[in-house]
Amino acid sequence: MFTMSDDHDQGQGVTDSPKKGPTLSTSTSSFEALDPHDPNLSKLANTMFSKTSDYLFGELTSTLDDYGLLENMNRAVITKYCDMKHLAVNVKKSMTELQEKYNLLLPLLQQIDQIEDSVMKLEQAAYKLDAYSKRLEAKCKNLEKR
């Protein structure tokens, strides 16, 4: 905390050092390297600059670590997307092969459908023939009985 005396118009005043109490100090508006000053204040200023430097170094280091993490994540994502691309290419290739095989089998499948339709028609005809033959047999038995 700084306190100024009545002779502050002359550029010098009494200030309180945080550790030693009132001391004689130079004007606060300018600092000359060769002017006498409070060594405790210099020590505190050096400590403050050192701590500020450490803080800024920590902030920059954490930012650098964040960018490193992002870089590693980007590499992992790139690898994952490459794997997915290869998988998609293989799936596309397999689907193309399956489509070609289906196209080759399509005429045979159509023939199977036609054969199935023919078998169903033959089965219906066989049931009709069976029913007709049963009716005919019944008529023959009736005629024999007479």
Give me 28's structure tokens: 């606060």
Cα 99 to Cα 83, 94, 102, 125: the distances in Å are: 24, 9, 5, 38
Per-residue pLDDT of 42-73, as tens digits, reads: 899 999 999 999 999 999 999 999 999 999 99
Q: How far, rounded to the nearest angstrom, does the alpha carbon of residue 21 sit from its chain's CA centroid? A: 60
Per-residue pLDDT of 82-127, as tens digits, reads: 999 999 999 999 999 999 999 999 999 999 999 999 999 999 999 9
State how far the Cα of 18 lies from the Cα of 87, in Å rounded to an integer. Answer: 70
Interval 9-20 mean pLDDT: 48
State how far the Cα of 87 lies from the Cα of 76, in Å rounded to an integer. Answer: 16
Is the pLDDT at 79 greater than 70, yes or no? yes
Write down the domain spans for the chain.
1-36, 38-132
Interval 21-40 mean pLDDT: 60
State how far the Cα of 136 lies from the Cα of 130, in Å rounded to an integer. Answer: 10
State how far the Cα of 113 lies from the Cα of 107, in Å rounded to an integer. Answer: 10
Predicted structure pTM score: 0.47
Could you tell me the pLDDT band of residue 2, with boundaries at 50, 70 and 90?
Answer: very low
Residue scoring higher pLDDT (41 or 78): 78
State how far the Cα of 19 lies from the Cα of 116, in Å rounded to an integer. Answer: 108
Task: Look over the chain and give the mean of its residue pLDDT values, rounded to a whole number.
Answer: 84
